[in-house]
């Protein structure tokens, strides 16, 4: 499947140097860049159908975790921002469960798309994960399911909204809350956000929207899905190096298995 049949190249001329530069400039400003209607409606529909067809294989789990995604630290009180627990409940199909002929895979592998990503992200190269599970994931949020406030470990993420929820399920975020590489944890801001005292930014992406997000220092969550339609979101995960697997601990947490 060629890129022409997958994305709206007229609105998003991803090989055009001027267009690439404009996308990068926008992304660099805030660490958030949204492209509504990036993937064609017919393609999105086929991915929705794949998701529906494979729904029986979804691995779903509810867990409690800190916003830092690391174990509680006994040097801090239980109700301190460092240790407060939030709830995440979602399901996931892993790369090995995405059909070989899926448009998601064609997009993920496409050299021009990857080159565009490199440009916007400021990476020299991007590679798939070495393990069979982690490269393409399809997330499912049923009614009531949510993703609790957290910071990502990775410095960027690329997501594609496959099926938008009818109500709730919006992506919420606050940028620049911590500075992970300088050990600034952002405890005061995190406390205010968890207590609902800080205004947050909200994104309600339609199906077909591609999102670039830097989630390492920007706290974010997916609010509980409040409607009957399942929220489906594809995560396209890449590495700057070859041969990198997601850690075994992370694979067990997210997928419940290693391969
Ligand atoms: O579902 C989303 O929109 C974001 C997912 C996310 O934050 C994550 O997987 O770390
Ligand atoms: Fe995240």
pLDDT tens digits, 185-227: 999 999 999 999 999 999 999 999 999 999 999 999 999 999 9
The pLDDT assigned to 253 comes to 84
Mean of the per-residue pLDDT values for the chain? 96
User: Does residue 234's CB lie within 6 angstroms of at least one atom of ligand 1?
Assistant: no
d(CA 112, CA 64): 39
Q: What is the DSSP letter of 259?
A: -
Confirm if 208 and 96 have CB atoms less than 8 A apart: no
> Distance between CA 106 and CA 112 in Å, rounded?
11
Specify whether domain 3-255 bears CATH 2.60.120.620: yes
pLDDT digits (tens, 9 = 90+) for 140-156: 999 999 999 999 989 99
Give the residue-averaged pLDDT of 69-85.
96
Say if strands 147-150 and 219-222 run parallel, antiparallel, or are unpaired: antiparallel
Where do the domains of the chain lie? 3-255
User: Is residue 147 within 8 Å of 88, Cβ to Cβ?
Assistant: yes
Cross-strand pairs, 232: 140, 163
Question: Which of the four pLDDT bands, split at 50, 70 and 90, describes residue 118?
Answer: very high
- CA atoms of 17 and 119, how far apart (whole Å): 9
Indicate whether residue 236 lines ligand 1 (CB < 6 A). no
**Residues linked to residue 87 through DSSP beta bridges, in sequence order:** 64
Q: Answer yes or no: is the C-beta of 214 below 6 A from any ligand 1 atom.
A: no
Which of 152, 159, 172 for a ligand 1 pocket mutation test, highest count of atoms within 8 Å of Cβ? Answer: 159
- The reply to whether ligand 1 has any atom less than 6 angstroms from the CB of 222 is yes
């Amino acid at each position: 499947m060629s890129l022409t049949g997958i994305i709206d190249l007229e609105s998003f001329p991803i090989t055009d140097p001027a267009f690439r530069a404009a996308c990068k400039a926008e992304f660099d400003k805030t660490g958030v860049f949204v492209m509504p209607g990036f993937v064609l409606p017919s393609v999105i529909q086929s991915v929705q159908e794949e998701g529906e067809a494979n729904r029986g294989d979804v691995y779903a789990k509810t867990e409690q975790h800190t916003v830092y995604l690391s174990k509680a630290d006994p040097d801090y009180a239980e109700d301190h921002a460092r240790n407060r627990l939030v709830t995440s409940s979602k399901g996931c199909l892993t790369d090995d469960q995405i059909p070989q002929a899926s448009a998601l895979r064609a997009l993920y592998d496409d050299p021009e798309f990857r080159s565009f990503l490199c440009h916007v992200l400021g990476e020299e190269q991007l590679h798939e994960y070495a393990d069979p599970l982690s490269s393409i994931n399809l997330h499912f949020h049923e009614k009531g399911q949510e993703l609790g406030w957290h910071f990502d470990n990775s410095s960027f993420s690329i997501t594609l909204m496959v099926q938008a929820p009818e109500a709730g399920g919006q992506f919420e975020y606050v940028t620049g809350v911590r500075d992970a590489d300088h050990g600034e944890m952002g405890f005061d801001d995190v406390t205010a956000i968890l207590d609902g005292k800080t205004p947050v930014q909200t994104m309600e992406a339609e199906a077909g929207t591609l999102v670039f997000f830097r989630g390492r220092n920007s706290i974010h969550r997916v609010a509980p899905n409040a409607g009957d339609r399942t929220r489906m979101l594809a995560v396209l995960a890449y590495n700057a190096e070859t041969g990198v697997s997601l850690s075994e601990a992370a694979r067990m947490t997210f997928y419940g298995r290693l391969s």
